[in-house]
């Protein structure tokens, strides 16, 4: 078969010159799909399927924006031969960063807390990353940097010729990625009709970037952060009480924080798959729960929910929280 | 800048002027990085941190391998510790400056251990490893120091710094009896320990204190029973530090420990946790930042007490 790619991407025929050209933006947005199950009449909720990013999660956006930013600043690239990236990550950012950086020829070292499941650590290795597994703080201090962030920073400080740390918790490009892509996509896809946006908080980059862009278009758009209850077990997310690690979070950019008992992230994710054929991961389940909680208080004209990633890499977590899955017949 | 202003204020309060005090600032240390009378030692919760990079000249000690007895549950034997310190280039006359990750958590344990063996001059770097890391202007390296071996003459163990179960159990029994008397004879009868009675400070997390959990998730060292020692006051160790890892001011600490929580300023105090490390951090606070005269670390802590047959336990 002979495929002719006339420019870098042919959006009509969906032919791309490279994965980098597939990364979403206003011309090539990730899909919005309506979710009906359990939504009260009078409210409309659309899920933005971020697992349709080339590497399977919303984090492609931040990872690429941070890498490009480092290249443009001369921190990575021909002027810094041999230099790679080191990043503390619990999964998705590391996976996107590892694959994209490896593709660009940069070595990658990921610092991962020991609580991160083996399947996610193996994905990082598959994508070419060298791994450091840290013991989590045994009795963490509120607001203090955890072990993974400190260790990644140590590599970057002690060996600046070998490593630069993008640092998703501080890097403005994490927020800008959403200001420049996710926000305009939502605005364009809803014809400017979006009334509510629901996002979870991890680094807070998504919620901050969306708020900056969308409120500049229409200050009445509500940005709602959905957080798991304290002591939660939802990978990639933070309760506001744990957000001290992020330098990006500005509470003024969030209209409301909805807290959801974290176990419901799992039950809701399973139900989304069974009722809507949406392969939503636990964080998406949590966000949908948050949107439903708001819909119970007020009609949602046109709500957009950021569904960060899919359930496929969380089967072990799902089994832990949904005992009805049983042992699926025991080990193969 | 608030941080430096606070540092100056604290130096005034507890007399760190001229570096005479046990808690030293980054500036104090940067002026002494090449001082041959000073040995800088890093002790981390996670020893990978030191290997990834450290302050130039810092000697790395592993709390589990180097600072514990290899066989029985105990501090290292004096001869073994003296040999280790000597081999790493430390003698008993050096000013040993300790720092580490997690707001000096295990660095404070090493501080207690060195004091237990009567090392004269031990200091703790305020803010520890994370505050140093956060300042890009401060030097950081993977290069390992190489000091010529020294002979370390170690002192006899100073039992005035260490509480044993033999000391803790009678306090618990007495507190339990007082609580029983209150239940039977009304709230005022024999309710309170005297003003000179020892304060027991439980520095574990609130869930460990209340007995909701025995140990933080994923930890091997545990106990048969959950709860706390009767009469203990719950003050989680991290309450003593700011988000940047520095200790709170003397006034803030005094308010928290003495005024709000009721640690008796003019009486003995004993700190305990799960395995005796977190409590070293609070031991440092009570002894050196609040100036209590008689403070002990109960290093047996909950993993000893919570396994005793017949010992009284309180929950919630």
In a domain, A279, yes or no: yes
B66-91 b/e (C-beta count within 10 Å ≥ 16 → b): bbbeeeeeebbebeebbbbbbebbbb
Q: Residue B235 and residue B256: Cα distance in Å, rounded?
A: 9
- At residue B179, the pLDDT reads 86
Q: Are A41 and A94 in a shared domain?
A: no
What is the complex's ipTM, to 2 decimals?
Answer: 0.78
User: What does the alpha-carbon distance between residue A48 and residue A35 come to, in Å, rounded to a whole number?
Assistant: 10
Contact A139 B52 (CB under 8 A): no
Residue A329 lies in a domain: no
pLDDT (mean) for A306-327: 90
Helix A282-297 / helix A263-276 crossing angle, nearest 10 deg:
90
Residue A211 scores a pLDDT above 60: yes
Residues A77 and A181 in one domain: no
Residue B271 parent element (H or E): strand B269-272
Exactly one of B273, B285, B289, B292 is catalytic; name it. Answer: B273
Confidence label for A313 from pLDDT (cuts 50, 70 and 90): confident
Nearest to B49 by CA among A111, A53, A129: A111
Residue B56 belongs to what domain range? 2-157
Inter-chain residue contact A159 with B49, CB threshold 8 Å: no
- Substitution target in B47, B48, B127 with the highest count of A β-carbons within 10 Å is B48
Share of chain A above pLDDT 90, in %: 77
CA distance B143 to A158: 9
* CA separation for the pair B240, B102 (Å, rounded): 12
Query: Model confidence at A134, in pLDDT bands (50, 70, 90)?
Result: confident
pLDDT tens digits, A269-308: 999 999 999 999 999 999 999 999 999 999 999 999 999 9
DSSP A168-191: TTT-HHHHHHIIIIIHHHHHHHTT
Contacts A–B by Cβ distance under 8 A: 75
Question: Could B130 and A139 be called an inter-chain contact, meaning their C-beta atoms sit closer than 8 Å?
Answer: no
More confident site: A28 or A246: A28
How are the residues of chain B apportioned to helix, strand and coil, as percentages rounded to the nearest 5? 40, 15, 50
Residues B27, B170 within the same domain: no
Asked if A124 and A266 sit in the same domain, the reply is no
Residue found by looking up tokens 């918790």 in the block? A169
Q: Are residues A236 and A309 in the same domain?
A: yes
* Strand ranges in chain A using DSSP code E only, listed in sequence order: 9-10, 15-16, 32-35, 45-49, 84-88, 108-113, 130-134, 163-164, 196-200, 222-228, 256-260, 303-307
Last residue of a domain, one of A103, A130, A164: A164
pLDDT at A2: 52
Higher-pLDDT residue of A261 and A144 is A261
| d(CA B234, nearest CA chain A) in Å | 15
**Integer angstrom CA distances of residue A46 from A36, B97, B300:** 9, 58, 56
- A283 neighbors A262 (Cβ within 8 angstroms): no
pLDDT at B6: 36
- Confidence category of residue A240, pLDDT binned at 50, 70, 90: confident
Domain end position, chosen among B142, B157, B172: B157
* pLDDT for the residue A241: 79
Same domain, A29 and A71: no
User: Assign residue A130 a region: left if phi > 0, alpha if psi is -120 to 50, beta otherwise?
Assistant: beta
**Which pLDDT does position A194 carry in this prediction?**
98
The predicted pLDDT at position B10 comes to 42
Domain boundary among B115, B139, B157: B157
State the CATH number of the domain containing residue B296: 3.40.250.10
Burial of A13 (0-12, 13-18, 19+ CB in 10 A): exposed
**Positions of A marked catalytic:** 59, 283
Question: Using 50, 70 and 90 to split pLDDT, how confident is the model at A332?
Answer: low
Residue B316 resides in a domain: no
Q: Which residues of A touch B (CB under 8 A)?
A: 114-115, 132, 134-145, 147, 150-151, 153-155, 157-159, 244
Answer for the pair A261, A165: CB distance below 8 angstroms, yes or no. no
Question: Does B310 reside within a domain?
Answer: no
In this predicted structure, what is the pLDDT of residue B140? 96
Distance separating the N- and C-terminal Cα atoms of chain B: 41
Whether B312 maps to a domain, the answer reads: no
Query: pLDDT > 70: what percent of chain A?
Result: 93
- Based on the fold, state whether residues B91 and B133 are members of the same structural domain: yes
Whole-angstrom CA distances from B246 to A181, A196, A318, B240, B249 are: 40, 41, 40, 9, 9
> What is the pLDDT, as a whole number, of residue A136?
60
HSE-up of residue B314 (Cα within 13 Å, Cβ side): 19
Question: Last residue of a domain, which of A126, A142, A164?
Answer: A164
The answer to whether residue A137 scores a pLDDT higher than 60 is no
A145: three-class secondary structure by DSSP: coil
* C-alpha distance from B90 to closest chain A C-alpha (Å): 24
Task: Indicate which of B45, B46, B243 best probes the interface with A, i.e. most A CBs within 10 Å of its own CB.
Answer: B46
Say yes or no: B288 and B183 in one domain: yes
Give B-chain residues touching A137 at CB under 8 angstroms. 45, 102
- CA distance, residue B194 to nearest chain A CA (Å): 33
What's the number of domains chain A is made of? 2
B273 carries an active-site annotation: yes
Q: Are residues A210 and A318 in the same domain?
A: yes
Please tell me which of the candidates B52, B101, B241 has its beta carbon nearest to residue A155. Answer: B52
**Min distance A302 CA to chain B CA atoms (Å):** 40
pLDDT of B144 reads 97
A151 and A245 part of one domain: no
Residue B26 token pair: 């980054």
CB–CB of B52 and A132 under 8 A?
yes
- Pairing state of beta strands A108-113 and A130-134? parallel
Nearest alpha-carbon partner for B281 in B15, B18, B23:
B23
Splitting chain B (316 residues) into consecutive groups of 10 residues, what average pLDDT does each group show? 35 42 95 96 92 97 94 96 98 98 93 98 96 94 97 97 97 92 60 78 94 82 92 95 92 97 96 93 97 97 96 94
The alpha helices in B19-124, defined as continuous H runs, are 26-30, 48-52, 78-87, 101-116
B270, B232 in Cβ contact below 8 A? no
Which of A148, A164, A180 is a domain's end point?
A164
Contact across the interface for B238 and A138, Cβ inside 8 Å: no
B143 and B164 fall within a common domain: no
For position A238, what pLDDT does the model report? 80
Tens of pLDDT, residues B280-298: 999 999 999 999 999 999 9
Q: Does residue A241 share a domain with residue A147?
A: no
The reply to whether A178 and A236 lie within a common domain is yes
Nearest to B142 among A143, A151, A159 (CB): A159
Residue span of the structural domain in which A262 resides? 9-52+172-323
Q: Are residues A183 and A269 in the same domain?
A: yes
Are B19 and B117 part of one and the same domain? yes
What pLDDT shows up at residue A142?
Answer: 43
Q: Quick: pLDDT tens for A2-55.
A: 555 557 899 999 999 999 999 999 999 999 999 999 999 999 999 999 999 999
Is A332 part of a structural domain of the chain?
no
Q: Which residue of A has its CA nearest to B246?
A: A144
Give the total number of structural domains in chain B. 2
DSSP state of B23: E
Nearest to B52 among A138, A139, A151 (CB): A151
Give the Cα separation of A250 and A203 in Å (integer).
Answer: 11
């Amino acid at each position: 078969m002979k495929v002719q790619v006339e420019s870098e991407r042919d959006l009509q025929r969906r032919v791309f010159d490279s994965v980098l050209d597939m990364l979403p933006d206003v011309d090539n947005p990730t899909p919005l799909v309506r979710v009906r199950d359990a939504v009260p009449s009078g409210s409309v909720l659309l899920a933005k399927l971020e697992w349709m990013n080339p590497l399977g999660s919303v984090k492609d956006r931040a990872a690429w924006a941070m890498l490009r930013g480092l290249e443009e600043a001369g921190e990575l690239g021909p002027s810094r031969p041999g230099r790679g990236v080191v990043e503390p990550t619990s999964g998705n950012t590391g996976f996107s960063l590892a694959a994209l950086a490896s593709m660009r020829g940069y070595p990658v070292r990921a610092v991962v807390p020991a609580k991160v499941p083996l399947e996610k650590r193996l994905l990082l290795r598959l994508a070419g990353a060298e791994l450091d597994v840290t013991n989590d703080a045994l009795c963490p201090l509120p607001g203090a940097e955890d072990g993974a962030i400190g260790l990644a920073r140590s590599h970057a400080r002690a060996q600046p010729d070998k490593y630069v740390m993008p640092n998703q918790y501080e890097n403005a490009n994490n927020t800008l990625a959403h200001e420049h892509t996710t926000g305009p996509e939502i605005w364009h896809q809803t014809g400017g009709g979006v009334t509510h946006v629901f996002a979870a908080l991890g680094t807070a980059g998504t919620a901050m970037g969306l708020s900056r862009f969308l409120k500049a278009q229409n200050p009445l758009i509500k940005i709602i952060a959905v957080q798991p209850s304290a002591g939660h077990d939802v990978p990639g997310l933070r309760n506001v009480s744990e957000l001290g690690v992020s330098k990006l979070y500005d509470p003024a950019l969030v209209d409301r924080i909805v807290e959801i008992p974290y176990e419901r992230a799992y039950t809701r994710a399973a139900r989304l798959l069974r009722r809507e054929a949406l392969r939503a991961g636990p964080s998406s389940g949590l966000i949908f729960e948050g949107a439903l909680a708001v819909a119970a208080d007020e009609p949602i004209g046109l709500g957009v929910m950021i569904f960060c990633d899919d359930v496929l890499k969380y089967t072990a977590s799902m089994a832990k929280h949904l005992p009805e899955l049983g042992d699926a017949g025991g080990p193969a | 800048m608030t941080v430096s202003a606070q540092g100056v204020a604290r130096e005034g309060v507890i007399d760190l002027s001229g570096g005479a005090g046990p808690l030293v600032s980054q500036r104090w240390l940067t002026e002494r990085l090449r001082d041959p009378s000073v040995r800088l030692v890093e002790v981390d919760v996670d020893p990978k941190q030191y290997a990834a990079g450290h302050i130039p000249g810092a000697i790395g000690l592993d709390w589990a391998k180097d600072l514990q007895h290899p066989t029985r549950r105990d501090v290292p034997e004096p001869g073994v510790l003296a040999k280790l310190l000597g081999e790493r280039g430390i003698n008993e006359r050096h000013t040993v400056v300790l720092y580490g990750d997690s707001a000096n958590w295990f660095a404070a344990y090493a501080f207690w251990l060195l004091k237990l063996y009567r090392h004269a001059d031990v200091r703790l770097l305020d803010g520890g490893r994370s505050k140093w890391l956060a300042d890009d202007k401060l030097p950081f390296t993977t290069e390992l120091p190489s000091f010529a071996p020294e002979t370390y003459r170690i002192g006899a163990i100073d039992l005035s710094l260490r509480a044993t179960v033999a000391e803790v159990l009678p306090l618990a029994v007495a507190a339990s009896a007082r609580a029983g008397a209150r239940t039977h004879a009304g709230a005022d009868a024999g309710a309170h320990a005297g003003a000179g009675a020892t304060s027991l400070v439980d520095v574990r997390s609130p869930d460990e204190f209340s007995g909701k959990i025995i140990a933080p998730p994923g930890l091997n060292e545990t106990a048969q029973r959950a709860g706390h020692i009767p009469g203990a006051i719950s003050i989680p160790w991290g309450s003593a530090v700011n988000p940047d890892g520095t200790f709170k001011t003397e006034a803030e600490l005094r308010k928290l420990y003495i005024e709000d929580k009721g640690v008796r300023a003019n009486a003995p105090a004993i700190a305990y946790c799960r395995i005796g490390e977190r409590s070293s951090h609070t031991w440092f606070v009570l002894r050196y930042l609040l100036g209590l005269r008689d403070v002990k670390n109960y290093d047996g802590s909950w993993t000893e007490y919570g396994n005793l047959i017949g010992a009284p336990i309180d929950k919630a």
